[in-house]
Structure 1
């Protein structure tokens, strides 16, 4: 039979009993190399020298009182099993077990088999204990080193065995930070005690499901912890013997970046689409305008040759009016495609707006309240005054039509500094000083799909025959041709705000001429809407 060898330190001040112990161990299944001392001090020195695998320790030594010997050996050498010996006091020996000893023997009752078994089992138990402690340490190190917030939950069952709750067994530091609570305030608490039902309920349901199915769960989920904004997490839940482990990794930053990238890509696609539509519209408008020139020219020639009472004269006049309306549409298409000729000047938009207020009030009607605001001393912009008036008129008419039951139309002017962050979120925007024109209504608002198409030519939400769908397309084209940008903010039922950003220039504004653009409309002149 194969035997193993172990080094034993025998700490016994009675030489005759020490001799009995050595004799008993000679016939053991295990070979013991015994080192013998009779005091605690040399015992500690021997242990410090290394190589000792077990200690057989008398509780009564000349240089140690009470449990001093056990306490010092266990504290100094926690990986070495200790078996204590006492002459009669079982209570004292049992108390030693509570202080870290593996086993005890009563000197008057010991025999070779009992002694060998006590030492062998002590070695086995201590070996298992050390392995478990090291495994726990490795697990704890892995958990604490994890980037995830990790928690271990143990199931709580009712009398029928159904899982009704979970108790937190342990959490790591990342979980403490996530929960905003120290470990001691969470461990041993029930899951249902850690938060409101709407926050804890889904975790409880998922935990029960994972335990029942025996399969791990991975998902992305959003969590709104008390007092914190919505955050996104990669969530992993793994079933244990009677519980679950939960790992949460905060992916909010990645999620936000992906959302930001998606938003920019969508804005870029929208910009490219509008560019393509603009080129198409510009080409069509140019060719169509050439055809209209021929139609109008020949119509006028024929009309001049007809007598006043000629029956075809009225028909030719209708042809001329239709050609005028068609020409107006082509001019709007040219404005959208940025093909029209502008006459830019250095402007004060506040002066432009002041000259238009009475016109705007007549256009929007009595059911809509007009509010104009100017925030601070405005900077100047470089733009065509007639086209700026066209922008304001078209946006005001669009706002009026969004409020059929009446409401409030607010037109506001202010300086704005567009930084790099804003430019990153709004492709085509150039950072720097701007003047912003905001037009806000209290109408029915728009859904995201409508907003994505609102500047397309011929797109309209009005009934057939009640709009050309070119008003906002014209605004878009003028703004782009003026090196500005336009953005719309709207929600269904909460109105809309159009913001036009024009680059600010460091030059004094030129005075407006007495008659210009939409502000001087009278007689047979036409405002393009």
Structure 2
């Protein structure tokens, strides 16, 4: 597209501009290091379109800054009496954060308050916008450069360009210092030559009779060169490159020949196939017919760049999943309200027809289909991390043991189920139904992956996530104490492509009609909702292992909310029922009246307040939808509580957890039932709340 081409051209212009400045800096006819850095600072200011700037040297051992240079405009504008040239790190304000955080600091509104600021001395240059970066040599910060007062806002491009420029400048600073040392003393030069961390080699160019470069000879190499390349000085000194590396491309001989012939330095990155390493190389003409190469092994940094690209792809995938999750949550909400009407009416009707017959059978099929639909919407909500939950303090071993018989029936007799509980493991805070859903889904997936007989092993243990080795686990996982649930099988395993799509919704390798592709997506949503992490290891033919890490409870947790027994429960109390969906209001009223309750109904909060005002002495329970016109259920409960002291409340909703959390329903001690609900679940919850 035109916009992408324009953006690419702009980046190319910026890159070329930076490269020209690097060449300008390196070719600057400076007699000493200070004038070189003065020139480099001016170019940095020009590159970022700033007005002022500075360079400070930094000593990590003493944690002290030493001023190297201020730009000319700083000196013109600064009116501070006796300005400091040394600063301790702990006494610096926000500009010292480049060292404390070991990263760039970018501020486009310097007047905005910030707790890190320590004030500006009287007469200080006025700052509007500010960018400072640390300069690294290996792992250590050796300097900071700052620029300020660009007319437009600083952005990531300024940060990147300034970082790359100073990286090149600082490598040249090292070369500059080496040159100064050579001038001072041959002995000092030898020490530098031996100790420098960058690879260094001195060469003699060989030309043919026509003056074309055809080869070059090694005259000297430093120990860093030997370490990086694996080529010893004794083996290569005096020999030509074609003798040492016969497969070298002619392009490199031509490139270095041009450096010798023109005196123009070159900078490039080169992958040396013979060595399997990537180098960043600078080549200079140091004497007639000779050139030097200085290079850094950037293999590791390129690997890091590749990892960063992978992380960017993962971020894009995460955003895609989030969008699908929002869609899933919205669909689930609408389905839940409709399914509530279907299920509740079917339950009421089936009680009134003969047990055996076509009508009873037809209604039973309606109930089965509605329950399957409800299970599907529950999976969608779990995947979207919008499933309303009531976390409880759980003993993982006890919960798994309670499911073993059910899991055995689920996987079949031809598969051995092995249970290996960890001794004395900690507790977790999680909704029991979610844990059941995770374990059942994992076992079903393992069962489907096993052809013929096999084994599924369930294990638990206390672990520290910082010590867990797992490449597939998200980097957002927080180190700390966890309880691990491990499910492994002897199935057929997965290839890399399948593993990369494992948690995508609706992705399945099963035959058509055999799976929805939501099982593992649901597990991922549940684990994420509970601040946990998942690690997956699998190879084709080697089986699969899922390790799920759930935060171990250290501090005391809230009191456990009792669970309602799903049995028909009757009563005679007066209940105020508030619901803006007429069909749900009607069927919920019929259910409650059939179970002995007296029911007052309201389709709006205003009507509910009128009912409560007229029947305050009789109403014992408010059953209310969460989201309604005029007022949400939580606020309505607050209003009615003022009219009826001690009023008990039960909230119901088909909305997703985001909406419920937004309206504060799932606070401690709040009773809630998720639509769609069965007649037994509804009446049991009503009885539980009334008796609580």
197, 212, 226: which one aligns with 1:176: 226
Q: Secondary structure at the match of 2:463?
A: strand
Return the offset for 1:492.
4.4
1:461 to 2:509 alignment: yes
Pairing of 1:318-397 with structure 2 (within 5 A): 318-374=365-421, 377-397=424-444
2:308 is the counterpart of 1:261? yes
Distance 1:307 1:381, change over 3 A: closer
Which residue of 2 is the match for residue 484 of structure 1? 532
Match of 1:501 among 541, 549, 552: 549
Question: Which residues in structure 2 correspond to 1:435-446 (within 5 Å)?
Answer: 435-446=483-494
- The 1:478/1:487 distance shift into structure 2, 3 A limit, reads same
Q: Larger deviation: 461-470 or 487-496?
A: 487-496
Are the structure 2 counterparts of residues 165 and 500 from structure 1 closer, same or farther at C-alpha, using a change threshold of 3 Å?
farther
C-alpha spacing 1:363/1:267, structure 2 compared with 1 (3 Å): same
Q: Displacement of 1:496 after TM fit?
A: 3.0
Match of 1:24 in 2: none
- Is the 2:397–2:421 contact (alpha carbons within 8 Å) kept by the matching residues of 1? yes
CA distance in 2 between counterparts of 1:241 and 1:205 reads: 27
Deviation at 1:175, TM superposition (A): 0.6
CA distance in 2, matches of 1:495, 1:224: 38
**Residue 471 of structure 1 corresponds to which residue in structure 2?**
519
Does the CA contact (< 8 Å) of 2:195 and 2:223 recur in 1?
no
The aligned runs of 1:32-431 (5 Å cut-off) are 148-151=198-201, 168-179=218-229, 183-188=233-238, 204-208=246-250, 210-211=252-253, 218-221=268-271, 232-234=278-280, 248-304=295-351, 306=353, 311-374=358-421, 377-419=424-466, 426-431=474-479
Q: Distance in 2 between matches of 1:171 and 1:285?
A: 69
Q: Deviations over 1:82-112 (max 9, x none)?
A: xxxxxxxxxxxxxxxxxxxxxxxxxxxxxxx
Q: Given that residues 403 and 443 in structure 1 are in contact (C-alpha distance below 8 angstroms), is that contact kept between their aligned partners in structure 2?
A: yes
Following superposition of structure 1 onto structure 2, how do residues 7-46 of structure 1 map, counting pairs within 5 Å?
A: none
Contact 1:386 1:516 in 2 (8 A): no
- TM-aligned CA deviation for residue 413 of structure 1: 2.0
CA deviation after TM superposition for structure 1 residue 278, in Å: 2.3
Aligned match of 2:163: none
Residues 370 and 315 (structure 1 numbering): CA distance in 2 closer, same or farther, change over 3 Å? Answer: closer
Q: In structure 1, how many angstroms separate the alpha carbons of the residues matched to 2:509 and 2:300? A: 38
Distance in 2, Cα, partners of 1:190 & 1:268: 49
- In structure 2, the CA distance between the partners of 1:464 and 1:394, relative to structure 1 (3 Å rule), is same
1:204 is paired with a residue of what secondary structure? coil
Shift of 1:329: 1.1
| CA distance in 2: counterparts of 1:244 and 1:450, whole angstroms | 52
Structure 2 distance, partners of 1:325, 1:422, is: 39
Q: Is the 8 A contact 1:409 1:441 kept in 2?
A: yes
Cα deviation code 1:174-222 (max 9, x no counterpart): 212224565235424687998xxxxxxxx53234564489789954537
Query: How far apart, in 1, do the equivalents of 2:323 and 2:374 lie?
Result: 22
CA pair 360-169 structure 1, distance change in 2 beyond 3 A = farther
- Aligned residue in 2 for 1:17: none
TM-score (norm 2): 0.44
Deviation at 1:291, TM superposition (A): 1.0
Q: When the two structures are superposed, what TM-score results if normalisation uses the length of structure 1? A: 0.55
Cα displacement (A) at 1:464:
0.8
Q: Unaligned stretches of 5+ in structure 2? A: 1-181, 207-212, 259-265, 567-679, 681-692
Task: Answer with 1 or 2: which has the greater Rg.
Answer: 1
Number of equivalent positions: 364
Cα pair distance change 1:207/1:309, threshold 3 Å: closer
